[in-house]
Structure 1
Amino acid sequence: MFPRRLVITAAALALFAAPVRAQTAAPVVDPAWVAAHAAFLAGDALRGRGSATHDETVAAAYVAAQFQGFGLKPAPGMDGYTQTIAVTRTTPSDTGTLSIGGIRLSRAEGLGLLSGGDAPMDGRVEVFTGTDPSALPEAGIVMIAPPEGPAVGTWVNAAWRQGSRLVILRETATLREAVARASPGRPRFALAGDEARPSRTLLVVPALVWDRMALMPGTGAVWTPGEGHVEPTVTTNAIGWRPGTDPDAGVILISAHLDHLGVRADGTIMHGANDDASGVAAVLELARALSSGDAHRRGLLFVAFGSEEVGGLGSGWFGDHPPVPLSEIVANLAIEMIGTQDPQMPDGVMMMTGFDRSTLGVALRDQGALIAPDLYPEQNFFERSDNYPLAVRGVVAHTISGWAVTPTYHTVEDDIAHLDIPFMTRAIQSLIAPLRWLADGEFTPDWAPGGRPERR
């Protein structure tokens, strides 16, 4: 802490150097507002806000109405507060088969399909039985025996990064449950016009059959998907805009994603209160706070993206069709899963993915934001949210989260009852003054050496 004499001196200088708005106290976030947003977005009426569904569209309309009520404007080139994006939804067939080394397994015989599955594939198969997902080989088709537990996503994401298009997992109890929930198979979504882009398929094979197949490494694997059902639909982004006073100062983008997992085949609603109604509530309250008073030097874009859960479609489309040039966006702060706090973090503090990749995190933390580096770099969370489609296009973009590995992730327990509203309120409050500082000041974040990700 600075000695009192120095604090007084700095304050006196600020009276002459800073505009009047910098002296006003930051607006106070009311926990009742936070709770009200979450209650609507994660309530039964929106049925889990499934990606590219009518429920997601209703959520976008709610956010758009809030933006308009706060006095935000339509973004440049838009005549309203929503972007409607054409999408195709492909429901896989339940007749697919996998053949490896003369062993053939069909969906009817216990072959599980977790994602993708609409495109045929064949080629040499590599078998990996190691314990370190970072050591996975570069292979178009790979067989993996992940450990029991929910961290299987780490293995799958590692395989995708190694260029795999077909991943064949050895069944565990967790994966067996996941296949049952996904039955007959999760639909594949794509932006209209991107349907021909090669899909990635994730299969689960019963343990005994997987073991037999694994005895034939280097042989050919053939995935025959059967005829899927294709239908058009839409996803929606909600956007609010506050112009800045200096057109050359750039724009700050604050975002979250609207969608969650929707309704399971058995009728169970996956409410998605933490993932990511909590982030949308944060964007709304930051929009309320940062739209009050005089305009800032920099422009502000507040965006709730659609269809993050099925491949970041809303943010990807936004990146290709931005209402302001991406070169003008000086920073993107995405907010995801701030509904509860990781017990390993200091009290009240959130994590920022890719913290060391740029100068943004340190700058915001120095201004009072309750953020710290990501505790789980091996999980590659930096690449697993809506910041990433923008980061690979050059925007300094990060995601902040309360507890990225919370036990309620993608479970029925991710409901309003499991939200920590006081933590959410304090977290949102801590971001207001740093974002005002960024919006009114000269500081422009930049990538650290080697920090900018490359497009694959």
Structure 2
Amino acid sequence: MTKHLFLAGAMACGLLASPAFAQDKWTVRPEWVRAHESFLASDALQGRGSATRDEAIAAAYVAAQFEGFGLKTAPGMQGYLQPATIVRATLKGASLVSGSINVPQIGVLVGAAEGTGGKSVVFAGTDPAALPAGEVVLASGDPDIMAMYRAAGRKGVKLLVLRQSAKTDAMVKAMGGQPRMPTFLDGAPKEPRTVVAVVPAAQFDALARTPGADVQVRLDVARETSITTNAIGWLPGTDPKAGVILLTAHLDHLGVRSDGVIMHGANDDASGTTAVLELARALAAGKPMKRGVLFVAYGAEEIGGMGSTWFGMHPPVPLADMVANIEFEMIGAQDPKLPAGQMMMTGFERSNLGETLKSHGALVGPDPYPEQHFFERSDNYSLALQGVVAHTISGWAVIPTYHTPQDDLASLDIAFMTRAIQSLVEPIRSLANSADKPEWKPGGRPGSR
């Protein structure tokens, strides 16, 4: 009688009828994939703008799913959410002083959180490669502005001063009159930043006649704070010494455009977040594994990888214990350059992780766009720089809907996503039960070449 009641109850709940609950093989279901996307990329979440209330709702949804799947809170955390404070700087005004030269109002193309300056060097050329090193460079040669800015950053220039011209006026107009100002994490070390200022021709010429003089730019900066949120779930392993696997994606997108259009971000990166969720569901439902697995959905990736940076500064387990990080980014469509069903892994040739996953059935292969440097352009990179074997898995990385209003639910290939996620379940489970540790190949670790 008891046996019959149990069987009837199990059948009523669908446990025996669903292949997802079979012990020998987990099945990712397309309706689960669509359900996550239908919420994360919905009008209700308004494009999940970085460090907004909508991003926080998305993080709360992911956290609730983690808890529902049976994941634990990560070591040292009281809940499933990891907040961080973001500071956005806005420029109210800028001036320049050098000896008797006082310019009370100057243009700024790229600003900083505070003023800067130093001894000046005059450069009349236009070739960025020839830009001299120095604290302050006065560039009079009407150069390619952005190329010169990048060169100045590489050479540690604090302040790049440009002579006002039609080219600088066009740049100001193209930027809507608003300088590019920094956004940074409160409590994080500030990255060196080159300020780019534009000075009227007469005052610039006066500055150029006194090379070596001290030049200072004063910036009147306002600061606005907001909160970004990471969602973190923890699946403990049976062997605390075996290390931890980190599975990640970013949950934010571009929010609402100034014209009121919602940027839904169904592919970028609700699709990656969905992958993390469904892998969490699959792995939590199986037998305990040797290695622990951390599942993280980062906030504020779109404004500079803020969530992943904060996580890297405050990991719930030491970075030294992380044997691998797999980031999921834009897995919502098939890349026409790749074999049917296959995703790409950025930096595939840098380590043996991709080969290991592929040997166990993962539908992954090399990145067909090496010239795009995707390895360095996703949340995996901040951890790779710290030595963690970290890569990003993507679908069609150069899809035409990227950062457009057309990146919505209708543009997704749910069948491709489902098959792609399915292909990763057993390879990741195998990695979590393995004694082998993924390794960088010679010269593969960032900074080692």
TM-score category (smaller protein)? 0.7 to 0.9
Residue 4 of structure 2: aligned partner: none
User: Any stretches of 5+ residues in structure 1 without a counterpart?
Assistant: 1-20
Calculate the TM-score normalised by the size of structure 2.
Answer: 0.77
Q: Which residue of 2 aligns with 1:355?
A: 348
The residue aligned with 1:384 is 377
> Partner of 1:434 in structure 2?
427
Structure 1 residues 171 and 338, CA gap change in structure 2 (3 angstroms): farther
Counterpart-to-counterpart distance in 2, 1:168 and 1:370: 50
Q: Does 1:81 align with 2:92?
A: no
Query: For 1:376 and 1:141, how far apart are their aligned partners in 2?
Result: 37
| 2:242 aligned partner | 249
- Structure 1 residues 121 and 64: alpha-carbon distance in aligned structure 2, compared to 1, 3 A threshold: same
1:227-266 matched pairs, under 5 angstroms: 227-266=220-259
Compute the displacement of 1:317 (Å). 1.6
Q: Which amino acid aligns with 1:90?
A: A
1:28-427 to 2 correspondences below 5 Å: 28-93=27-92, 95=93, 113=109, 117-120=112-115, 124=121, 179-180=175-176, 184=178, 188-194=182-188, 197-198=190-191, 200=193, 226-427=219-420
Partner of 2:15: none
- Residues 121 and 132, structure 2, Cα contact 8 Å, conserved in 1: no
State the 1:297 CA deviation.
1.1
AA in 2 matched with 1:388: Y
Residue 97 of structure 1: how far off its partner (Å): 8.1
CA 46–184 in structure 1, closer or farther in 2 if over 3 Å, else same: farther
Normalising by the residue count of structure 1, what TM-score does the alignment of the two structures yield? 0.76
Cα distance in 1 between the residues matched to 2:391 and 2:157:
26
Partners of 2:345 and 2:84 lie apart in 1 by: 29
Q: Is the 8 A contact 1:336 1:399 kept in 2?
A: yes
| d(CA) in 2 for partners of 1:379, 1:155 | 21
Q: Match of 2:398, SS?
A: coil
TM-aligned CA distance change 1:284 to 1:92, over 3 Å: farther
| Number of aligned residue pairs | 413
- 1:350 & 1:176 partners in 2: Cα distance? 40
1:81: how far off? Answer: 0.5
Larger radius of gyration: 2
Conservation of the 8 A alpha-carbon contact between 1:118 and 1:225: no
Post-superposition offset of 1:189: 2.1
Distance in 1 of aligned mates of 2:134 and 2:263: 34
CA contact under 8 A between 2:136 and 2:215: conserved in structure 1?
no
Alpha-carbon distance between aligned partners in 2 of 1:372 and 1:146, rounded to the nearest angstrom = 38
Which stretch shows the higher mean deviation, 267-276 or 289-298? Answer: 267-276
CA distance in 1, matches of 2:429, 2:380: 20
Give the secondary structure class of the aligned counterpart of 1:406. coil
Cα distance between partner residues in 2 of 1:311 and 1:339: 22
Distance 1:155 1:355 in 2: 32
Alpha-carbon offset, residue 192 of structure 1 = 1.1
The answer (yes or no) to whether the contact 2:383–2:390 under 8 Å persists in 1 is yes
Unaligned runs of 5+ in 2: 1-20
